Chains A and B, each alone.
Chain A
Amino acid sequence: MRKNITFDQEDEDFFGQVGSFGVPKFDNEMHGGVPRGFTMVAFTETGSGAELFAKQFISPAEESENTLYISTNEAQPEIVRVFNKYGWPLDVNVRTIGEEYNANVLEKELLASRYRLEGFRLEDIQRLAQTRFVEDSTQDYLTEVTNEIMALGPYFRAGIDSLDFFLQRDDPGRVVAMIRMLQAHTQMYRGLLLIMVSVNGLPASVRQELSSIADMVLTFGVRTIGSDFETSMIVSKFRNAPENLKMLVFRVTPEEGITPETVERIA
């Protein structure tokens, strides 16, 4: 049975029907911004500026406690540095899964290879003799992240950069199922969810599934023109607004971050 959620009129007025992408020029191109309840999937290429876009999308942070940024590749200091650089608010919730994974799994693996290569020291043996239980290191990050986003209230804003981490460690079918749940939650709570996923090595079937779940599909690309790089963003799906399908060439400015320069309609 569908859960009924009542929205306060005051909140409705405050949050409006659309939310900002965090990129004013892009908001203009998309006729005001991203409709509330939208799940966006961005297929990215390395070096296309997608990581910055993910952070910039978080920056409007209408309610900081209801805003969540999940990074699987960057450490907290690096994220803080970027937010500081562009003057974006620092009071949003940030979870760095990559750092946690390094601490929980990779450090353990590193220690295991030290024990195997160099053997045990006396203090290791003493500790081993006093350790009675195996620490459970099998952390289900996918479920944790899903639960964390599902716990966000109405009008939340969340970004996952990137889904690659989960696709590499979990069954892709399970990952897609979780995204489906998140999409339903986002729609129901009029939230905004951005999911970044690297296009390289992504199975066509998973790409197809993600594209069909998403309300909006973006593709970030980079190409060389002479000795320069040109970064672009293609909006190839925008549910119920085909007029928004566009190709935008953008550059990164120190003042605004991602800044669209030229726009070409593709529909």
Chain B
Amino acid sequence: MNSGGLGELIAVQAASTYSRDRCVTGIHGLDEILRGGIPYGSTVLASGTCGSGKTTLGMEFLVRGALAGEACAHFTATEPSVKLLENIRQYAFFDMNMVDTGLINVFDMDVLYSWLGLDKSTFDLDDVHALIKSITDIVNTIGVTRLVIDSVTTLCYKIKSEQLIRDFLFTLGKKLATLGCTTILISEITSATENAHWSSFGVEEAIADGIVVMGDVERMGHLLRFLQVVKMRGTAHSRAKHAIELTPLGVMLTPMLKWGAQSDKASRWGA
């Protein structure tokens, strides 16, 4: 064995033992799927059909962070924050004190738009930059390490050009990564089947560091919620579909049995 060979071996060993610091989500089953959590500073696209548990997943991600003493922020564009907080109160993991004490900061996008003079139907380049600046300002000023934008789809509807959406997401993701903030961008999709897009505009999925797809699958006449990690840069992960249960204690992920899918297909087609 020559010295070059030894050097290569050491390098390979070092590479195989190196792992990026993780943002432990605290969500039951998700950290196991991600082999320890989301790599710090990643921007993860959580795409899902309506009612698939995206908002609950996002909120629990923040609550688990807050319980660990991290500063968290939630930007809500799809529903008023008052409604969001009322809905999330039914979960045992959520404590309103976290909002009152500023561990979880909930921002209404409508209010943010109004403060920035963005109460208009479409955003131009300046508006997009103002939005990025204000979000990163908030993250930087209060030291946010976990951020959820619910949803990026609603936000991007106001940005008419695909190029501008790409710039917005890329710049925002880059700045948040620099600030060490792990971000979940919630994206609304109409279908979560194999052939479906994982994002509404098609550009989000290419820019995100990770993609988590959530949807429904029919099993024996029942609609089961599922979650699948399609992509996660910086970590090995399971690509299998996992069943999601939204329990009063929070989101619970369990592996989905493959035979179930086959038997379901058989029963659905009457074979």
CA–CA, A129 and B126, complex, Å: 23
Q: Does A243 sit within 8 A of B, measured CB to CB?
A: no
| B108 interface residue (CB < 8 Å to A) | yes
Please tell me which one of the listed residues B110, B111, B141 contacts residue A122 in the complex, with CB atoms under 8 A apart. B141
A120→B137 contact, CB < 8 A: yes
With A112-B117, A115-B115, A125-B142 known to touch, is A131 a contact of B108 (CB < 8 Å)? Answer: yes
Question: In the complex the two chains form, is B114's CB within 8 Å of A120's CB?
Answer: no
For the complex, give the distance between the alpha carbons of A253 and B10 in Å: 100
Query: Roughly how many angstroms separate A131 CA and B113 CA in the complex, as a whole number?
Result: 12
Q: How far is the CB of B151 from chain A (nearest CB, A)?
A: 19
Contact A116 B138 (CB under 8 A): no
* Interface residue tally for chain A (C-beta within 8 Å): 20
Report which of A108, A112, A119, A128 forms a contact with B111, defined as CB distance below 8 A: A128
Q: Which residues of B contact A134 (CB under 8 A)?
A: 108, 110-111, 113-114, 119
Given contacts A128-B112, A129-B102, A134-B114, A119 and B133 within 8 Å (CB-CB): yes
- Which chain B residue has the least Cβ–Cβ distance from A119? B137
In the complex, chain B residues whose CB is within 8 Å of the CB of A132: 80-82, 108, 111
SS class, residues of chain B in contact with chain A: helix
Q: How many A-B residue pairs have CB under 8 A?
A: 59
**Of A111, A121, A126, the contact of B115 (CB 8 Å cutoff):** A111
Known: A116-B130, A134-B119. A129 touches B107 (CB 8 A): yes
Chain A hits for B137, CB < 8 A = 119-120, 125
A109 interface contact, C-beta 8 A: yes
Near A by CB (< 8 A), chain B positions 64-85 give 80-82
B238 is an interface residue with CB less than 8 A from chain A: no
Which parts of A105-149 form the interface with B (CB within 8 Å)? 108-109, 111-113, 115-116, 119-122, 125-126, 128-129, 131-135
Chain B min CB distance to A105 (Å): 10
Q: Give complex CA distance A111, B115 in Å.
A: 8
Q: How far is the CB of A97 from chain B (nearest CB, A)?
A: 21
Q: In the assembled complex, which residues on chain A have CB atoms less than 8 Å from the CB atom of B112?
A: 128
Q: In the bound complex, how far is the Cα of B105 from the Cα of A120, in angstroms?
A: 15
Most chain B Cβ neighbours within 10 Å, of A122, A129, A131, A135 = A129
B114 touches A135 (CB 8 A): yes
Query: Is B249 on the interface with A (CB-CB < 8 A)?
Result: no
Measured CB to CB, the closest approach of chain B to A153, in angstroms, equals: 39
The CA-CA distance from A113 to B127 in the complex, in Å, is 11
Tell me, rounded to whole Å, the shortest Cβ–Cβ distance linking A266 to chain B. Answer: 50
CB distance from B191 to the nearest CB of A (A): 33
Query: How far does the Cβ of B246 sit from chain A's closest Cβ, in whole Å?
Result: 25
Shortest Cβ gap from A57 to chain B (Å): 39
CB pair B134 A115 closer than 8 Å: yes
Question: B145 CB to closest chain A CB, in angstroms?
Answer: 16
- How far is A112 from B117 in the complex, measured between Cα atoms in Å? 5
Chain A residue contacts of B119, Cβ below 8 A: 134
CB of B50 within 8 Å of the partner chain: no
CB distance from A129 to the nearest CB of B (A): 4
Q: Does B116 contact A (CB under 8 A)?
A: yes
Known A125-B142, A132-B80; judge A115-B116 contact (CB<8 A).
Answer: yes
Q: Determine whether the beta carbon of A122 is less than 8 Å from that of B142.
A: yes
- The distance from the CB of A116 to the nearest CB of chain B, in whole angstroms, is 4
Contacts of A111 on B, CB cut-off 8 Å? 115
Q: Write out the residue numbers on chain B whose beta carbons fall within 8 Å of the beta carbon of A119.
A: 133-134, 137
Closest to B99 in A: A129
Per the bound structure, the CA–CA distance linking A129 and B110 in Å amounts to 12
Cross-interface CB contact of A109 among B80, B105, B110, B117, cutoff 8 Å: B117
**Given contact pairs A108-B117, A116-B116, a sample of 17 additional A-B residue pairs in the complex whose CB atoms are under 8 Å apart:** A111-B115, A112-B116, A112-B117, A115-B115, A116-B130, A119-B133, A119-B134, A119-B137, A120-B134, A122-B142, A125-B141, A128-B115, A129-B107, A131-B111, A132-B82, A132-B111, A133-B108
A-B residue pairs in contact (CB < 8 Å), sample of 19:
A115-B116, A115-B130, A116-B133, A116-B134, A120-B138, A125-B105, A125-B137, A125-B141, A126-B102, A128-B138, A129-B105, A131-B111, A132-B82, A133-B80, A133-B108, A134-B108, A134-B110, A134-B111, A134-B113
Binding site for A on B (CB under 8 A): 80-82, 102, 105-108, 110-117, 119, 126, 130, 133-134, 137-138, 141-142
